[in-house]
Amino acid sequence: MVERYKCTLSSETLTKAIVELNEPEKDSDRHSAIDQFRTEFESKFPDIKLQRQDDGFFLRFLRAKKFNQERAVATLYNYVTCPKEWTEVYEKIQNPVLIRDTLESGAVVPLLGKANDQSTVVIGRPGLDKNTSLLDLVSAIFLTLDTLLEDEEVQVHGITVIDDLAYTNMELAKQLSPIVARKAMNLIQNCFPIRLKGVNVTNEPKVFDVIYAILSAFMNEKMKSRFRVHGTDFTDLFNVVSRDVLPPMFAGNGPNLDPEAWMERLLGNQTQL
């Protein structure tokens, strides 16, 4: 018999989940919601055989969609069918060794500390490794997000992104075609069970206007509202992530990034996508 989910959320996080995500307080009620979700998905998509059937896997989709069964089913369907739509990226996600150089460079690294709202902070540095293609970077980002979502505290509190574009140049920007932008926005908006709290852009180059114009064409209004551009003045960024948490690269007092530790974790995991 498969072991049922047992809540490990802190009391503070559990309260947040109940208030903001409509999560049941009791495990027995969670089990009922999970069973309903599993049954509805299997009934609607009988030909899809999920690699994972554990309660925790289903629960992340329910949390992402505030326990709305219909929306959770749609997101799970998108999640398991996306690999067929973007094989170039998912091949790298499923075989992280293919993007080892990207991970080793520190182009995508989470911070050890949390944002002011307790969300997990992910730093992206496009162009940091000149040999990294845009698809390598996209693969590293989504592998990182999927790995972080294994933590149920992250599922509840969400993820905040800081994109440092200091290294971004025209050569990298040219790789952002409308097709790539559409697929990337589809993944983040429709496929991943993620609570994206905000995307903070810093050190943006002149080419950023072109980049944003291409991306925003495929953003919903909710996504657009979560974009903040800070330039080289990090004062407003401190309102999102404490200066004591941010690394020196953002005029913070926190520790430097540790890409090696994160790379080792990702290379040691096998994604379930």
Pair 109, 259: CB distance under 8 Å: yes
Q: Are residue 167 and residue 245 in the same domain, yes or no?
A: yes
Q: How many domains is the chain partitioned into structurally?
A: 2
- Summarised one tens digit per residue, pLDDT across range 210-223 is 999 999 999 999 99
Q: Show the domain range for 41.
A: 11-83
CATH number for the domain spanning 254: value is 3.40.525.10
Considering the domain boundaries, does residue 5 fall inside one? Answer: no
Considering the domain boundaries, does residue 33 fall inside one? Answer: yes
Residue 252, classed as helix, strand or coil, is coil
Q: Are residue 39 and residue 150 in the same domain, yes or no?
A: no
Q: Are residue 202 and residue 71 in the same domain, yes or no?
A: no
Looking at residue 272, what is its pLDDT? 45
Nearest Cα to 134, choosing from 95, 86, 94? 86
Q: Are residue 188 and residue 220 in the same domain, yes or no?
A: yes
Q: Which of 54, 83, 112 is the last residue of a domain?
A: 83
Q: Which of 19, 52, 83 is the last residue of a domain?
A: 83
Place of tokens 């990294």: 132
Distance of alpha carbon 49 from alpha carbon 94, whole angstroms: 18
Q: Are residue 39 and residue 157 in the same domain, yes or no?
A: no
Looking at residue 271, what is its pLDDT? 44
Tell me which long-range contacts 140-143 makes (C-beta under 8 A, separation of at least 24).
140/92, 140/99, 140/102, 140/103, 140/107, 140/108, 141/108, 142/89, 142/93, 142/187, 142/192, 143/92, 143/93, 143/96, 143/99, 143/266, 143/271
Q: Are residue 66 and residue 173 in the same domain, yes or no?
A: no
- Summarised one tens digit per residue, pLDDT across range 160-169 is 999 999 999 8
- Summarised one tens digit per residue, pLDDT across range 170-226 is 999 999 999 999 999 999 999 999 999 999 999 999 999 999 999 999 999 999 999
Q: Are residue 41 and residue 157 in the same domain, yes or no?
A: no
Pairing mode, strands 196-202 and 227-231: parallel
Q: Are residue 97 and residue 178 in the same domain, yes or no?
A: yes
Q: Which of 83, 105, 127 is the last residue of a domain?
A: 83
Q: Are residue 67 and residue 157 in the same domain, yes or no?
A: no
Q: Are residue 205 and residue 132 in the same domain, yes or no?
A: yes
Determine the average pLDDT of the residues in 219-234: 95
Considering the domain boundaries, does residue 226 fall inside one? Answer: yes
